[in-house]
Chains A and B, each alone.
Chain A
Amino acid sequence: MHPHAAMEPFLEAVQYRRQRLEGAVSRGEKVIGYFCTYTPVELIHACGFLPVRIWARTGPAEKACAQVPGFICPYMQLSLENALSGEFLFLSGVVQAYTCDVACGCVNIWKATFPDLLVHSIPLPYNVSPEAGAYLRSCLEETVEKLVSAGGTYSDEALAESLDLYGRIRGILSALHEQRAQGTLAMTSADLNVVAQAFFAMDPVHYLMMLERLVADLNSCRSILAPGIPVLVSGSVVEDAGIISLVEALGLRVAADDLCTGLRAFTPASAAGQNPLEQVGNRIMKRFPCPARSRQSQRIPLVLDLVKSSGAQGVIFLFQKFCTPHLADYPAVCGALKDAGIPSILLELDGNAGMEAQALTRLETFAGMVGA
């Protein structure tokens, strides 16, 4: 039994996500999968679909190896392994915001392998300008067209409702992240990771209710400054809370994260705009950026701000192995941290192999270095 009773539904939501989504589909719901958290989930939801983030697994990629080389990130490799093993038969489609080359290539493989699925890639702009904004709105309109052709319905009113729903969820999750940064969150970062993973896997209406219960439960606890040396965790996809638990078990406290399955997915909670579609576009353009979609000069100050505001005394980079966007930025980010007197360590996550003892030893050394 978890110390917070309100955590149980989140743990179950992650553990039984497949069965629950299959159940939803058997009741007539339609589910759309996505990989990247730049994907406009509100739009998918407003069209009458349930958006869920496609998940990977640990262990070997036996079936996927026949379709993809071994030098792509384990997340994309193992999510394909899941798909080939029948994990995602409930999906009606995959709608994906174009992020990195591997995601693009793998989406193409999904399209070729599962010809009955709606597969649509959204080529987001990189710049922020009125022209880029207008272009993005056209891309979102095209996405609506695709979703409608797959049996969805769209109205501005429905999108406004979905925006409100997701805005509230992201607002609460951002607030939890903020409390964590201040050291006043009465739950571990591993638990917060589970809460985030549940967001990606379930109906947002139900999720919001669970989240509100959790907040009430946390508010009833006496806020105490969490122990441990504060650190920032930076990387892409971290699905398994185990690695966060491991960090916390070493006397470190994850005070903030710069993960696409964490803070980056929820910041900002919403954005203004003259109409609902524009609000969706504006939020994407104002998002805490991923290295695949931003310049080093844009991201580094944000990461440094996050270190400063959370009081992190060290940074743990948790990269999916072979992740080009993160690896390409790493020397510059690492250098900027060094200049600011912040030590860091890089660990590459290989879902195939699990956490190596060598990585644990390195983490222990790092913990010792920052004084844990």
Chain B
Amino acid sequence: MGSTGKSKKRLSTARELTRVVTDYYLECHRARAEGRPVGWMPPMNGGIEIFYAMDLQPVFPENWSPVCAAFSLAPGHFEISEGMGYSRDLCGYLRNIVGYVHSDMNGPGVPLGGLPEPDMLMSFGGGCVPAMKIFQILESRFPRAKVFRADVPQVACEDIREHHVDYAVSEIHRLIEFLERTTGRKLDQERLHRTVELSDAACRLWDEIMSLRRCRPAPISASEIGIMFVMVTRQGTQTAVDFLTRVRDEVAERAEQGIGVIEDELVRLFWDNIPLWYNMGLFNEFEGLGGVVVAETYSAAWSLRLDASDPVRALALKSLMSYSLVSCLSIERRKEMVLKACRDYGIDGAVFHRNKSCVPITLGQDEIIRALDEELGIPSVTIDADHMDSRNFSHAQFKARTDAFMEMLLARKNG
């Protein structure tokens, strides 16, 4: 069983994130109160920008799960969903959100007021199976919500061809038509263009921030990765661009002044797979031994660009690529990405999270571990855990493995 721990933040702008998060959920509830249509959708697709361009309120149940984990609400939700017959072998996001929507969703103990009930559900075919199944279950839970049944080809980035893009474009057009028909609002093309520009600006800033982590000492670590909240929930808004600009400026300033995450950065680490949302403090545990997690796989999901000259095509490509970037692309391409990151960021060792709640990212890790060792001589350690369910994580085992790993890395450094 893993203990719950929050990560230690160094950035003042990262501390500002609390306000950004609160504002987002306040906006969601305000939308409901004001009669602005609320739609629940999976993250990492082009529907977000369309919602913002039409003044609709997107809500991301998948993103709510890390909030539940951080507030220690997930175990209660697991109890409810498992009581309904959902197996413990299912993804923790699924079990958490099913438990949550079958509990007192907006009760007094629920942080941030919980989620407002949906007027619409963007129920996808595409992405991973648990993400699809979550929305099918939500369809039953919220029978009055209007459902858009979307379809996104599950194709690896390197295999995307014109027919995949054409189909994704036709799905975006169908989504726009659905939203216009359901809400009575008309999409303003100029507004969409601007929204996609903002989304692209956020991606560019994201890449800049991530690139600054190449500096020695690293100005920020994975413990600040909560800033990705804006990439999930606020893409296409000025809020995201403004926040990320402030983060970029602060990180750049720290890099310029040589201010690191810790005073004496001895070892630079890479993290593969989703973090343990209920114990983000684990990243700080490496710091106590001179290690800093300076790069990770998961942040690559937002490392793409959007060409605003053709907004619909840009959003179609985003929908096709975002999921694939962290999951279904070939192992060869994943190896390339991880090896490149390890070279670029000067990685000394890699931590692979064998994540019971995320099979797509976990499958193929062993090939990447071998390649890191054989091609770059970078050692790795594997930890068995779960990004949502602390019952699948042993802190003692984590400590035993990572302490020995850090000791070995430090010995290599000194030897």
Residues of A at under 8 Å CB distance from B? 66-69, 71-72, 98, 100-102, 104-106, 108-109, 111-113, 121, 123, 125-127, 131-132, 134-135, 138-139, 142, 292-293, 295-297, 321-322, 324-325, 327-332, 334-335
CA distance A40 to B130 in the complex (A): 25
Contact between B332 and A105, CB atoms less than 8 A apart: no
Known A127-B151, A295-B136; contact A135-B163, beta-carbon cutoff 8 A: yes
Contacting A at CB under 8 A, from B122-136, are 123, 125-126, 128-130, 133, 136
A-chain residues with CB within 8 Å of residue B106 when the two chains form the complex: none
Contact between A108 and B164, CB atoms less than 8 A apart: no
Contact between A132 and B90, CB atoms less than 8 A apart: no
B-chain residues with CB within 8 Å of residue A332 when the two chains form the complex: 137, 140
A-chain residues with CB within 8 Å of residue B164 when the two chains form the complex: 123, 135
Contact between A112 and B331, CB atoms less than 8 A apart: yes
Can you show 10 pairs from A to B with CB atoms below 8 A apart? A102-B359, A111-B331, A112-B364, A113-B367, A125-B153, A126-B126, A131-B171, A328-B86, A329-B136, A330-B85
Q: Which of B133, B163, B364 contacts A105 (CB 8 A)?
A: B364
Closest 7 CB pairs of A and B: A126-B125, A105-B363, A138-B163, A331-B85, A328-B133, A135-B167, A112-B331
Contact between B331 and A325, CB atoms less than 8 A apart: no
The answer to whether the Cβ of B379 comes within 8 Å of any Cβ in the partner chain is no
B-chain residues with CB within 8 Å of residue A72 when the two chains form the complex: 359, 363
A-chain residues with CB within 8 Å of residue B354 when the two chains form the complex: 69
Q: Which of B94, B125, B140 contacts A125 (CB 8 A)?
A: B125
The answer to whether the Cβ of B328 comes within 8 Å of any Cβ in the partner chain is yes
Closest residue of chain B to A319 (Cβ to Cβ) is B87
Contact digits for B88-99, partner A, Cβ 8 Å, 1 yes 0 no: 011100100000
Residues of B at under 8 Å CB distance from A? 84-87, 89-91, 94, 123, 125-126, 128-130, 133, 136-137, 139-140, 149, 151, 153-156, 159, 161, 163-164, 166-167, 170-171, 174, 327-328, 330-332, 354, 356, 359-360, 362-364, 366-367
Contact between B161 and A142, CB atoms less than 8 A apart: yes
Contact between A67 and B366, CB atoms less than 8 A apart: yes
Contact between B128 and A101, CB atoms less than 8 A apart: yes
A-chain residues with CB within 8 Å of residue B129 when the two chains form the complex: 100-101, 292, 324-325, 328
Contact between A131 and B136, CB atoms less than 8 A apart: no
Main secondary structure of the interface of A (DSSP, over half): helix
What is the CB-to-nearest-CB distance from A294 to chain B, in angstroms, rounded to a whole number? 9
What is the CB-to-nearest-CB distance from A350 to chain B, in angstroms, rounded to a whole number? 11
B-chain residues with CB within 8 Å of residue A109 when the two chains form the complex: 331, 363-364, 367
Closest residue of chain B to A68 (Cβ to Cβ) is B363
CB < 8 Å A-B pair total: 140
Contact between A69 and B163, CB atoms less than 8 A apart: no
A-chain residues with CB within 8 Å of residue B163 when the two chains form the complex: 135, 138-139, 142
Contact between A331 and B86, CB atoms less than 8 A apart: yes
B-chain residues with CB within 8 Å of residue A105 when the two chains form the complex: 328, 359-360, 362-364
B-chain residues with CB within 8 Å of residue A127 when the two chains form the complex: 125, 149, 151
Known A104-B154, A126-B125, A127-B149; contact A69-B167, beta-carbon cutoff 8 A: no
What is the CB-to-nearest-CB distance from A102 to chain B, in angstroms, rounded to a whole number? 6
Q: Which of A69, A104, A135 contacts B153 (CB 8 A)?
A: A135
CA distance A327 to B327 in the complex (A): 21
B-chain residues with CB within 8 Å of residue A329 when the two chains form the complex: 133, 136
Closest residue of chain B to A111 (Cβ to Cβ) is B330
CA distance A142 to B164 in the complex (A): 11
Contact between B89 and A327, CB atoms less than 8 A apart: yes
Closest residue of chain B to A322 (Cβ to Cβ) is B89
A-chain residues with CB within 8 Å of residue B94 when the two chains form the complex: 328
A-chain residues with CB within 8 Å of residue B362 when the two chains form the complex: 69, 105
Known A98-B154, A135-B167; contact A66-B360, beta-carbon cutoff 8 A: no
What is the CB-to-nearest-CB distance from B323 to chain A, in angstroms, rounded to a whole number? 11
Q: Which of A104, A321, A327 contacts B86 (CB 8 A)?
A: A327
A-chain residues with CB within 8 Å of residue B136 when the two chains form the complex: 295-297, 328-329
CA distance A139 to B159 in the complex (A): 12
A-chain residues with CB within 8 Å of residue B149 when the two chains form the complex: 126-127, 295
Contact between A108 and B363, CB atoms less than 8 A apart: yes
What is the CB-to-nearest-CB distance from B379 to chain A, in angstroms, rounded to a whole number? 17
Known A125-B151, A138-B163, A330-B85; contact A104-B125, beta-carbon cutoff 8 A: no
What is the CB-to-nearest-CB distance from A260 to chain B, in angstroms, rounded to a whole number? 14
Closest residue of chain B to A132 (Cβ to Cβ) is B151
B-chain residues with CB within 8 Å of residue A101 when the two chains form the complex: 128-129, 327-328, 359-360, 363
Closest residue of chain B to A326 (Cβ to Cβ) is B87
A-chain residues with CB within 8 Å of residue B128 when the two chains form the complex: 101
A-chain residues with CB within 8 Å of residue B154 when the two chains form the complex: 98, 104, 123
Which residue, of A126, A131, A132, A297, has the highest number of chain B Cβ atoms within 10 A? A126
Closest residue of chain B to A321 (Cβ to Cβ) is B89
B-chain residues with CB within 8 Å of residue A292 when the two chains form the complex: 129
A-chain residues with CB within 8 Å of residue B89 when the two chains form the complex: 71, 321-322, 324, 327
Q: Which of B84, B90, B366 contacts A327 (CB 8 A)?
A: B90
